Structure 1
Amino acid sequence: MSTESPESTVQSSADEHSQSYLSALRSWVGLTKDQNNLVGMLFVLPNVIVFSGFMLLPVLYAFYLSFMEWNLFLGEGTYVGLENYVTILTPLPWENNWAALRSPTANLWWFSLRNTVIYTVGVIPLQVFGGLGVAMLLNKSIRGKGIYRAAYFMPVMLSGAASAVIWRWLFATDGVINDLLRPLGLAHNWATDPVTALPSLMVIAIWGGIGFNMILYLAGLQNVPEELYEAARLDGATRWYRFRHVTWPCLRNTTFFVLVMAIIGAFQVFGIALAFAGGGPYYATTTVVVLIYERAFNQGAFGEAAAMSFLLFLIIFVFSYLQYKHFGANEVDY
């Protein structure tokens, strides 16, 4: 015969309901029975709230604006559906004999995207492999290693606008670079020529990006087990084979991170492009983000600028996902 009181029965039922609710909460946040990270989740909660309030909600609001013709001063707008996206993408590049990629007057969005892609393709390989090469040189026991590391990292500490102003002075008609090239008859106003303005901008990005990637690769190189190099030397592996079969595979995770960050940074280039040439001459340095800035703050087309932002997000997401599929699926453990 049961001796449980009605009060204990009610308490037991309440405990069972609490456990079921807790199990449902664990399942919702992805925790198993073997994990007890509820306290950790509570510590993370303030950061999640701040992220939601200052980043996620503005992003969602911008997505809402991308379907509006928005008036900033009145704080109101008219719903236009996909009209902003259609306006941005029309005409398509393959229409009119690819004129949208050759002339900014045909479609400035596609022309700025072309500039951004050229910039990305030209900058990323030199940033990545330049950073790797410098990291391998400075990972050795050489005199003054700390000074060299600081010198290569110095451009990273400068703001993009400051770097652009410095290099604009260097590339000027009476600048230092032309002073060196003038005796050879190669002096040129690099920043004001539509043909050379974008390559000059790429030089600034390469100069500033190598130091950042150098630090990341230095961290990766110092985590490669020395035993792997010793085993390779005992097997008679040359320096190239040690790099090809030991160093490079162990840097796979680092390279994945470096490439993703480099792609995101290249597609979002803004500060140096605006400060170096203001998007000119003749839109030669107008990248996608510079165009978004011009549409929003100079022309007041906030709805169209928001639509451009989400098209850029989609492009960056696709490239980042492809990098993850290529590198992230085969992470290296050592």
Structure 2
Amino acid sequence: MIGGALAASVAVSAAACSGGGEQNSKTLVYWSMWKAGEPQAQVLSAAIDSFTKETGVKVKVEWKGREVAKQLAPTLNTRNVPADLIDSADRFVKSTFEATGQGLDLNPVYERPVPGEEGKSVKDVVDPRYRRYATEDGKAWLLPYEVLATQIWYDGKSLKDVADAPPRTWDELVRLLDGRKAARGGGPLALDADVADYPAYWTYQAVLADMGPGAFAAAATDRTGAKMDDPAFLAAVQKIEKLVKGGYFADGYNGSKFPAMQQKWATGGADFLLMGNWAPKETLTSAPKGFEYRSFPFPAGAAGKPVQSVSLIGFGIPRNARHSDAAQRFIAYFMNKERLSKISTVASNLTTRADIPVPAVQADVKKTLDGAETVPDLDGVKMNQSGWYTKVFQPSRHRSGHREDLRGAVRREAQEGDRRLLEAQRLMAATAVRKARPAHAAAAAHASPLERRRRRLFWPFVAPALLLYAVFYIVPTLVTAWISLNDWAGAGPMRFAGLDNYRRLMLDPVFHDAFTNTLVILFVVGGATFALSFVMTIILRDMAGRKAVRSIIFFPNIVSGIVLSILWGFLFQADGVVNTALRGAGLAHPPNWLGAHLFTVIMIGLVWAQTGFFTTILMAAVDRIPRELYEACDLEGASALQRFRHVTLPLMWDVVGVCAVLWSIHAIKLFEFIYAFAGAAGQLPPTHVWNTAVYAYAEAFSGVPRYGSAAATGMVMLALVAVLVVLLRRLFRRDGVQY
């Protein structure tokens, strides 16, 4: 009996290690985080070609880009996972595989021999530190091949004194910055603050230097918030605050769009840049000839010793991969020294093998890694406590002010003016229905054969449309409602949670801000859009060439919202067209649009983008109004405003109602403009500009997926749309006007 149980255990373990995939399979589907043409993609392509020649395994590779893990996540709970192997940053692999239980344990891969290196297994060639970071509870969820580390970068050619003696302590760094600030006449530090992680690096590095490894993670896991109030934690944060208030960051750091500031650094507009060791790759095309990439670690603080944070890029295998054996073989094959060394020689990056020569631009980073204690980047908080990082830590730097809740005022204003008219219409409609019923019944009794045949064909024609509506709207809505009652990471089993997700929304201050922003967009932006649309309607009514003008103002609606948001960002950044024009007009210090006024600029952009659309619809309604009515107004001496109030608006009231419904739906589900304009480098915008759609996206795709919370947010949005549509239908309900 014991032997049988042991055999069963071994069989289960073997099945778990193989992921249930085919053994000795001859095909492999590989989704990569790199884009075709990138140096890493070139290295991997060469390895794939040689792997196929030597093993006969055909590899189908898809260069998915940085969002590869998010694209794969929805498929992990199925039996048809489309990829057998992916590579991505550690935090994405962990949140997609480890947190959901959908990743294969890669410990067996570490035991595999490395092809071409006799007597060596994968575990013998990978630095033990990095294997330890990618293992939790004994399960290896990532096999890393590239190392990323954050340091302070500078041009060694122009700052030779820094290259000879880089600052070792915080005080030495401040003295260096003081000298460079005086020499430059401005801040020597470059920072693209619109990339949420980049300001976070400064704060985290200060906490790490002062309090040592684990302090940042301790603050993230402390539900009382006491850790963030620790005097040592506050002292570290205040160091960065002094840099900000002291003008140490270059002008425009918090009012530009990425990568403006790192390009400014590369072209000599700033001296130092705190960034990962991908800085040379991203700035190479901007740097002048002879630029010497040098770096030094963040100086030691109160803890008294240098600590280097690192993050990893590596391979992961889905638990349900169909060809997991081939995936494991490829990983071991790629970890061969000759093949992996091309990450160093071609891509100019560090690998997880200590015996591979280091590219010149990474020499300083490698020296630090060899001599300092290393810890996972951000203490692993972005992997393990992503909710705290996104909703607590980052918003602490972007607190928004309180905004007036407009719901009550708008409803009162909407209902007060036409209350009596609506009551009269309801009475008239009820009377008409009562009178019509007998006539309708009589007509039905004496319907012609053709009419009866037409009625019999009604359902056969309507049924396909109803079926599609049910499949693509009603069923997904019901599924979303069910998911909102569960805790679910998108893969693995659901855990019924009842109304807990809704309670969390009600208690989450980030959701409160997001919901408030949604209402502000709905009412304030909507009010401004309709006001401008009405004004444009009055102006264009009798304007020569109005068709050409209508086409011009409609232009923003034929361009992708992503393109518009990027254009809007470049217009309003610190050195953009708007501020350049304001300086030319004599305003010495124009507003920091992308800093303190970010949400205001978003609202202005939405008004600009939507006014043309609604003006076009309203003008179409105006065009059908008989000109004789306007001629009569002219004879009576009516002003343009009186004509609009007594003729135009009443006769296009039904169209205005349709526009109001369209705007309400659009405003509540608005996503791409805010995400692309306020975010940067694929990261989320600051939380003080989120609306409910961005909040739902963040819950589903930021860190460990929280589909239950995202679904609950979606149901709240659906409820808001339903309420608004019902109210608007009642507000704009009138008898049709014949003319």
Partner of 2:656: 255
Cα deviation digits, residues 264-309 of structure 1 (max 9, x gap): 2112221100001129764121111000000012241101111111
**Corresponding position of 1:286:** 690
Could you tell me which of 502, 511, 519 is aligned with 1:85? Answer: 502
Give 1:61-80 correspondences, 5 Å limit. 61-74=479-492, 76-80=493-497
Distance 2:674 2:709 in 1: 21
**For residue 513 of structure 2, what is the amino acid of its counterpart?**
F
Structure 1 counterpart SS, 2:732: helix
> How far did residue 126 of structure 1 move?
1.8
1:313 maps onto 2:718 in alignment:
yes
Q: Deviations over 1:224-250 (max 9, x none)?
A: 123322333444434332222111111
Determine the C-alpha separation between the residues in 2 that align with 1:225 and 1:333.
Answer: 11
Cα 1:57–1:280 shift into 2, 3 Å:
closer
What pairs with 1:219-234 in structure 2 (closer than 5 Å)?
A: 219-234=620-635
In the TM superposition, what whole-angstrom CA distance separates every residue of 1:43-66 from its partner, at most 9, and x where no partner exists? 232222222212221111111111
- Following superposition, the deviation at residue 149 of structure 1 comes to 1.6
Displacement of 1:333 in angstroms is 4.3
| CA positional deviation for 1:141 | 5.0
In structure 1, the partner of 2:520 is 118
Q: Which one is further off, 174-183 or 274-283?
A: 274-283
Residue 166 of structure 1: aligned partner: 567
Q: What count of residue pairs does the alignment treat as equivalent?
A: 286
Alignment partner of 1:189 is 2:592: yes
More strand by share: 2
Whether the aligned pair in 2 keeps the contact of 1:128 and 1:258 (CA below 8 Å) is no
SS of aligned partner of 2:495: strand
Once residues 643 and 672 of structure 2 are traced to their aligned partners in structure 1, the CA distance between those partners, rounded to angstroms, is: 40
SS in structure 2 of the partner of residue 81 of structure 1: coil
CA 1:168–1:60: 2 relative to 1, 3 Å: same
- 2:674·2:685 contact (CA, 8 Å) conserved in 1? no
Deviation at 1:84, TM superposition (A): 1.0
Residues 1:132 and 2:550 are matched in the alignment: no
Name the structure 2 match of 1:202: 603
Q: Specify the code of the residue in structure 2 equivalent to 1:181.
A: L
Report which structure shows greater RCO (CA 8 Å, sep ≥6): 1
CA separation in 2, counterparts of 1:240 and 1:111?
38
Q: Deviations over 1:126-184 (max 9, x none)?
A: 21121222233333250x33321211110011121111000001011111001011231
Aligned residues of 1:136 and 1:218 also touching (Cα < 8 A): no
Task: Identify the match of residue 551 of structure 2 among 122, 136, 150.
Answer: 150
TM-score by length of 1: 0.79
Asked whether the equivalents of residues 517 and 690 of structure 2 are also in contact (C-alpha less than 8 Å), the reply is yes
Q: Which aligned segments of 4 or more residues in structure 1 are displaced greater than 6 angstroms?
A: none
Candidates 646, 655, 659, aligned match of 1:245:
646
For residues 276 and 47 of structure 1, the distance between their equivalents in structure 2, rounded to whole angstroms, comes to 37
Separation in structure 1 between the aligned mates of residue 686 and residue 543 of structure 2, nearest angstrom: 49
Deviation at 1:254, TM superposition (A): 1.2
1:185 positional shift = 2.0
SS of alignment partner, residue 328 of structure 1: coil
User: In 2, Cα distance between the equivalents of 1:83 and 1:163?
Assistant: 38
Contact 2:699 2:709 in 1 (8 A): yes
Name 2:674's counterpart in structure 1.
273
SS in 2 for 1:71: coil
Judged with a 3 Å threshold, the aligned counterparts in structure 2 of structure 1 residues 331 and 296 are, in CA distance, closer, same or farther, namely farther
CA offset digits 1:182-204 (Å, max 9, x no partner): 2312423312x1x3011100111
Greater displacement, 226-235 / 44-53: 226-235
C-alpha separation in 1, matches of 2:455 and 2:609? 41
**How much does 1:332 deviate?**
4.1
SS at match of 2:606: helix
Would the alpha carbon gap of residues 268 and 328 (structure 1) be closer, same or farther in structure 2, given more than 3 Å must change? same
The equivalent position to 2:709 in structure 1, one of 298, 304, 311, is 304
- Higher Cα radius of gyration: 2
Give the conservation status (yes or no) of the 8 Å contact 2:684–2:698: no
Work out the CA distance in 1 between the residues paired with 2:629 and 2:460. 42
1:238–1:180 distance in 2 versus 1, CA, 3 Å: closer
Check conservation: 1:253, 1:332, Cα contact below 8 A: no
For the 8 Å contact 1:250–1:332, the answer to whether it is kept is yes
Q: 1:151 to 1:236 in 2, by over 3 A?
A: closer
How far apart are 1:121 and its partner, in Å? 2.6
Give the one of 29, 41, 44 matched to 2:459.
41
Aligned partner of 2:732 in structure 1 is: 327
Which amino acid is 1:133 matched to?
V
Q: Is the 1:132–1:213 Cα contact (8 Å) retained in structure 2?
A: no
Quote the Cα distance in structure 2 between the aligned partners of 1:65 and 1:184: 53
Say whether the 8 Å CA contact 1:134–1:214 is kept in structure 2.
Answer: yes
CA–CA separation in structure 2 for the residues paired with 1:121 and 1:112: 14
Contact 1:197 1:284 in 2 (8 A): no
Structure number with higher helix proportion: 1
The one-letter amino acid paired with 1:213 is: F
CA–CA separation in structure 2 for the residues paired with 1:296 and 1:280: 12
**Counterparts of 2:552 and 2:633 in 1: how far apart (Å)?**
33
Distance 1:224 1:42 in 2: 38
